[in-house]
Amino acid sequence: MPIRYMSLICCFITLHAMDNNKTLKQVATLKGHTDEIFTLLASRKNNAHLYSASRDKTIRGWDTKKYTEKVFEGHEGQVTGLSFGDQDEQTLVSSSWDKTVRKWNIETAEQIISETFHNSIICLAQQDETLVAGGCNINLLDPKTLAICNHFGCESNKYRSISLHNDTIYAGAQNVIQEWDKRVTKEPVACYETKDNKRIDAVVFCPTKKRLYACGPNSERITICDTESKKVILSLDRSKGPAWIDDPWNGFNSFLANIGLDDASSHLYVVHAAGILEVLNTEQIEKTDENPQVCAFGTTPFDDPAASVPFDQLEAFAIDADGKQAYTAGSAVKSDGTSVDNIQVWDTSKLAK
């Protein structure tokens, strides 16, 4: 697979009524995909390596320091999920609406194996030797063969997001986050009902706080769960924005698109569909009122002069292992109705410990 030089545009953001110490800077734009980007996956071994999955049926591997990209081709439908296939990050696993899960050689971008399922797999998650696929069921996969080792869950649910911690699987579905022990799969250990999020598209587990953070589409609230008491403890409203910005949403809605944690679990990154990335301190979220202290805040610029709106369809998020660089992916609509689908690179080094 030839390595291609990717298009990179450097840009900086200026916001009005902003504390410059809290301004997030977008330092680069990665261009290559030709349709909506669903998933971003950052390496935990190499801070320069990023992977993306798109509606354009491709996966792309980016080197954000050398400015090169690899293209993984073979799926016949939009690619929805990404994970690593092993602890050493030698392989990549992808899921698609073509009802296949595929394993790839990261170095060569060549397909190693493909496994076909009865239904589409929406999301993937991997930790150590555990590989989980979410769709109509929760599926435990053999990391070597991609065959199903066990499956559980309710087929009436569609599992759209999964977070792993040791033997525990947290799966987001319709109106609920389910907690499963992968060793005992007859019934979930706990169910957290999410009244303010009708569908859970993102769920992350904070091991230091024993908390789950979750969000869904068309909602401005983050559901926070205590995994020790097995209760939903807070529905955090993010519609107000930081007090030090006059119009944080630039006239757009403040619906949430995704959330993520840094490896230190010290910061919760909140991605707004309106092209906004804000950062909350996990130590402060539950100690303040409905509008907790915001550590940093940034907005995507009009990256393309032909765009009629900014990147108002942010969806995916990832952050490097050292916490110094974060990534979002979104779309801008041009005046002719076509879209621009890029990855935004953010400098988050001032937040890294």
Is residue 220 in a domain?
Answer: no
Average pLDDT value for residue range 230-255 = 75
For residue range 92-140, what is the model confidence (pLDDT) as tens digits?
999 999 999 999 999 999 999 999 999 899 999 999 999 999 999 999 9
What is the edge-to-edge ordering of all strands in the sheet holding 111-116? 79-84, 91-96, 100-105, 111-116
pTM: predicted TM-score of the whole model, two decimal places? 0.89
Give the pLDDT of residue 26. Answer: 87
Q: Are 199 and 175 in contact (CB under 8 A)?
A: yes
Longest dimension (CA), the chain: 54
Is residue 312 in a domain?
Answer: yes
- The residues, ordered by sequence, that sit 6+ positions from 82 with a Cβ below 8 Å of its Cβ are 39, 40, 41, 51, 52, 53, 59, 92, 93, 94, 95, 124
Average pLDDT value for residue range 33-42 = 94
Is residue 15 in a domain?
Answer: yes
Is residue 328 in a domain?
Answer: yes
Average pLDDT value for residue range 329-346 = 80
pLDDT at 16 over 50: no
For residue range 71-92, what is the model confidence (pLDDT) as tens digits?
999 999 999 999 999 999 999 9
Is residue 121 in a domain?
Answer: no
Average pLDDT value for residue range 44-66 = 94
Q: How many domains does the chain have?
A: 1
Give the pLDDT of residue 3. Answer: 42
Range of the domain at 310: 1-31+260-353
Local confidence band at 343 (pLDDT 50, 70, 90 cut-offs): very high
| CB atoms inside a 10 Å sphere around CB 231 | 11
Is residue 211 in a domain?
Answer: no
Is residue 106 in a domain?
Answer: no
Is residue 27 in a domain?
Answer: yes
